[in-house]
Structure formats: structure tokens, C-alpha cells
Amino acid sequence: MIKFDNVTVRKKNHILLAGVSFEACRGEKICFCGKSGSGKTTLLTTIVGAHIPAAGTVCFKNRPLSSKNILSVRQSVSYIGQEPVLGAHRVLDALMLPFTYRANKHSTPPSERINGVLEQLHLDAAILDKETNVISGGEKQRVAIARALLLGKTVFIADEITAGLDAQSKNAVLGLFRDAACTIVSVSHDPAWFGLCSRFYFLDRGRIVSVSDTPGAVIKTS
């Protein structure tokens, strides 16, 4: 589904990713760990074309990322960032924002579906009328997750999405992603999130230094 083959990303003279190779198959849930500045977020955003690799190839569904398919890749993937950007003044408008784009117009969700997703994430329907700048960080994060779920994609790129969530909200998010038949490439330091994933990579200074099926082993090795 998603494959990195010896990918190097540079920013001016800094190497952000150095010869990174990995593969996430359909339905797999994998997780990247590592210290701050080790290249985790760069890796996730490179999947969706935020960086052009200086070397190596990024493939999505066996096709190398290019100017021709970048739009369709972005339209097939849901990206949930570390600090959610809602991009609208009202929560409802933020949720509906992707459906104002031509690519998603046909899949505009009915209000029952919106309410259903909000309920699954322990969000009250009254939040829809609230201003996005008055809701808490945890609520913002769940609104961003709700928006990603409403898009109905089966590939998720998730950057620390349980950070800042209380125990109840976190359980709700974990439950949703555990049950979903989807592919997830994630970054997390949250042991609860580790329970969802089947493979773990440890990144250090832009390189993958260890891979394991258990988070404990990968962190210990590193």
C-alpha cells in the first residue's frame, strides 16, 4: 500500500530522512517512534507529498508518487496531524470543509452520520455550533479525527493523535481505529496506541535504527 525505498529528504543542508525504507501493506497498522527531531513527522508528511525526496522512491499502491498522481493519493488518504488545523470559524464548517472540495463533494455526509461519528468520539452535537477557537485542545483533536473519519478513507496517516486526549476520549478513538479495517501509518509515544499496531520502527536522526513486532523490543534495542 505505502512503500518507502531508500528515501532521503533534505532541507537546505540538513538531512531530515536518510535512506529510509519500509512498507505498510493493506490493512496493516504500523507505528514510528523516536525522539523529537528524529524525522517522524517528516516521514509521515512525505507520504502525502509535503516533501520531495532528494533520493529514493515513495510508492502508493505500487505507483511512485509524482505530480500526476499526488492529488489522487491525497484524496485516498486521511492525514491527522499532531496539532489539528480546523481551517474554519465554526466546528460544523470545519467538519464540512473537505466536502466543499470537488474531490469530496459527492460523499458529503448526512447529518445522521455526522452525529453518529461525534457520538462515537464522545462529542456532544452542540459542539457543531461552537466557534473553533473556544473548544479545548482535546475537542479540536477529536473534531479533526471526526473529519478524517467522515471522509470515509481506508488509509490513515496519524501523527500523535491520542496526545492531549483524556482517558475516555482516548479509549473511544482507540476503539474506532481498532475496529476499522484500515491501513494506518502512525507516529506515537502512547503505550495505549501501541496496542493497535503490529509493527514498530525506531527512528534516530532520520534513519530507521530498529524494527520489531513489539514496541518494548524496538525501544529497548535502540
Partner 1 sequence: MLMEVMDIGYQHMLLIYGLLLIPLCICYVLKIAVIKEFFTAVVRMSVQLALVALYLGFIFRINSLWVNLLWILFMICIADASILRSSGLRLSRFFPVLFAGIAVGTLLVVGVLVFLAVRPEPLYDARYLIPVTGMVLGNCLRANVISLERFYATIRKNEKEFLTYLLMGATLSEAILPYLREALKAALAPTITTMATLGLVSLPGMMTGQILGGSDPAVAIKYQIAIMIAIFTATVITAAINIGFSLRTSFNRYQVLDKSIFAG
Least separation in angstroms between CB 40 and partner 1: 16
Beta carbon nearer to partner 1, 47 or 218: 47
- Set of cell numbers at residue 58: 515513495
Whether the CB-CB separation of 161 and 83 falls below 8 Å is answered with: no
Beta carbon nearer to partner 1, 67 or 168: 67
| β-strand pairing of 183-187 with 155-159 | parallel
Least separation in angstroms between CB 143 and partner 1: 13
**Distances, alpha carbon 45 to alpha carbons 25, 94, 210, in Å:** 18, 21, 21
DSSP state of 108: P
Least separation in angstroms between CB 150 and partner 1: 11
Beta carbon nearer to partner 1, 41 or 200: 41
Q: What is the Cβ-side half-sphere exposure of residue 142, based on CA atoms within 13 angstroms?
A: 29
Q: How many helices (H) and strands (E) does the chain have?
A: 8, 10
- Set of cell numbers at residue 33: 517512534
Which uninterrupted H or E stretch holds 118?
helix 111-120
Least separation in angstroms between CB 34 and partner 1: 21
Beta carbon nearer to partner 1, 13 or 168: 13
Beta carbon nearer to partner 1, 100 or 136: 100
Which uninterrupted H or E stretch holds 22?
strand 14-24
Least separation in angstroms between CB 109 and partner 1: 14
List contacts with partner 1 (CB under 8 A).
Answer: 45, 48-52, 65-67, 70-71, 74-75, 77, 79, 81, 83, 85, 87, 97-98, 100-104, 147, 151
Q: Which amino acid is at 147?
A: R
Which uninterrupted H or E stretch holds 74?
helix 70-76
Beta carbon nearer to partner 1, 83 or 166: 83
Least separation in angstroms between CB 170 and partner 1: 23
Q: Which residue has the cell 507529498?
A: 49
